[in-house]
């Protein structure tokens, strides 16, 4: 089958690089053709990662449906309080922008009317999406291992001059932890504006990579971040969440109130590389996408595609 992963509704942003690349390689590993396109491909099953914030993105979906395009939507945000990310971090310029998240939530509901399925990235998100879309299949898309996806060439220990590495949006909770660690250690932080070549070099030199909660109220782990580090054999210390993730058995987790002592202890471990390699190998054996993805695809492809929308006279 031919799939097209659309990046245009994200403005072709660097922020979706890891997810897009993982999806493409997973589909290819399962024997399908998978392209990445800016716009909608009418001859393919289009996969769109949720982010509809302007009229053009919805008009493109509508025009694609008129031409016979098929859509699978990947939902990335939890529904909290009847909106995306409600109250998750009210003081942050982005996560606290309630008007933006309301617009994004309402636009997603419109986009979903044209989709065949919704795939969520966390099992805990299933009930809310199933309740909101009772007539639409909602399925969990697990983050499994894909061969030859790693992009970081890990360096030997003597060349590692970065003590702690973190990549993600900066919030007050994360700033507090990173500032404390930076008092006596080298801490490097990347965000979505960081060039890929710089991110990969930083990662290759990092001793301990961190997976930090967005805020104390955030209870769903970032499986995308965990997955990226597992694929690239990073030594990862993960701040534990209330809700579980299928990736939990393959990362070193620490409770929030003990995270800094755990981080300092991890820095002293003489066998970090052996631990990271072992975690990767166990993850690869337990959760291959070549086994996890086909059941989702079979359910999708077995249904008769919706008829194209009629063109107005």
Crossing angle between the packed helical segments 223-231 and 17-29, to the nearest 10 degrees: 60
Return all residues near 170 (Cβ < 8 A) that are at least 6 apart.
189, 191
Q: Does pLDDT of 83 surpass 90? A: no
Residue of higher predicted confidence among 41 and 222: 41
Average pLDDT of the chain, as a whole number: 92
Mean pLDDT of 282-308: 86
Per-residue model confidence (pLDDT) at position 13:
87
Per-residue model confidence (pLDDT) at position 92:
72
pLDDT-derived band of residue 311, with 50, 70 and 90 as boundaries?
A: very low
Rounded to 5 degrees, φ, ψ at 253 are -110, 145
Per-residue model confidence (pLDDT) at position 305:
64
Q: CA 47 → CA 23, 57, 129, distances in Å?
A: 9, 14, 18
Q: Does pLDDT of 90 surpass 80? A: no
pLDDT-derived band of residue 47, with 50, 70 and 90 as boundaries?
A: very high
Closest C-alpha to 297, from 113, 32, 53: 32
pLDDT-derived band of residue 268, with 50, 70 and 90 as boundaries?
A: very high
Percent of the chain predicted with pLDDT > 90: 79
Per-residue model confidence (pLDDT) at position 216:
85
Q: Do 2-144+288-301 and 157-286 agree at the fold level?
A: yes
Q: Does pLDDT of 159 surpass 90? A: yes
**157-286 maps to CATH 3.55.50.30:** no
Per-residue model confidence (pLDDT) at position 81:
81
Say how many C-beta atoms besides its own lie within 10 A of residue 312's C-beta: 5
pLDDT-derived band of residue 312, with 50, 70 and 90 as boundaries?
A: very low
- Over residues 109-152, the pLDDT tens digits come to 999 999 999 999 999 999 999 999 999 999 999 999 999 999 99
Starting from the edge strand earliest in sequence, which strands make up the sheet with 138-140, in order? 33-37, 2-6, 45-49, 70-75, 117-120, 138-140
**2-144+288-301 maps to CATH 3.40.1350:** no
Mean pLDDT of 98-109: 91
Closest C-alpha to 248, from 167, 143, 174, 178: 143
Per-residue model confidence (pLDDT) at position 15:
85
Mean pLDDT of 77-102: 78
Q: Which two structure tokens, joined as six digits, stand for 77?
A: 């945000």
Return all residues near 73 (Cβ < 8 A) that are at least 6 apart.
48, 50, 108, 111, 112, 115, 117, 118, 119
**Domain boundaries, given as residue ranges, for the chain:** 2-144+288-301, 157-286
Mean pLDDT of 217-240: 93
Q: Does pLDDT of 24 surpass 70? A: yes
């Amino acid at each position: 089958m031919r799939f097209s992963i659309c990046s245009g509704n994200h403005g072709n942003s660097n922020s979706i690089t890891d997810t897009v690349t993982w999806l493409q390689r997973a589909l290819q590993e399962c024997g399908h053709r998978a392209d990445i396109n800016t716009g909608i491909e009418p001859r393919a099953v289009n996969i769109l990662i949720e982010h509809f914030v302007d009229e053009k993105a919805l008009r493109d979906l509508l025009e694609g449906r008129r031409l016979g395009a098929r859509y699978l939507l990947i939902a990335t945000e939890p529904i909290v309080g009847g909106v995306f990310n409600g109250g998750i971090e009210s003081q942050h310029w982005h996560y606290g922008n309630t008007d933006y998240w309301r617009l994004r939530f309402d636009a997603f509901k419109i986009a979903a009317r044209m989709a065949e399925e919704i795939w969520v990235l966390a099992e805990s998100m299933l009930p809310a999406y199933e309740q909101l879309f009772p007539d639409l299949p909602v399925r969990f898309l697990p983050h499994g291992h894909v061969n030859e996806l790693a992009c970081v060439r890990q360096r030997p220990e003597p060349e590692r001059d970065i003590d702690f590495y973190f990549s993600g949006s900066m919030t007050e909770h994360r700033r507090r932890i990173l500032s404390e660690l930076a008092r006596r250690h080298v801490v490097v932080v990347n965000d979505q504006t960081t060039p890929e070549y710089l991110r990969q070099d930083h990662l290759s030199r990092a001793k301990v990579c961190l997976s930090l909660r967005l805020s104390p109220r955030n209870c769903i782990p970032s499986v995308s971040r965990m997955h990226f580090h597992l694929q690239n054999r990073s030594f990862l210390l993960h701040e534990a969440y209330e809700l579980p993730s299928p990736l939990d058995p393959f990362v070193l987790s620490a409770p929030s109130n003990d995270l800094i002592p755990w981080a300092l202890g991890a820095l002293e471990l003489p066998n970090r590389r052996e631990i990271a390699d072992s975690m990767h190998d166990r993850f690869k054996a337990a959760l291959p996408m070549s086994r996890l993805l086909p059941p989702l695809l079979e359910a999708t492809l077995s249904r008769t595609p919706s008829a194209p929308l009629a063109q107005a006279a």
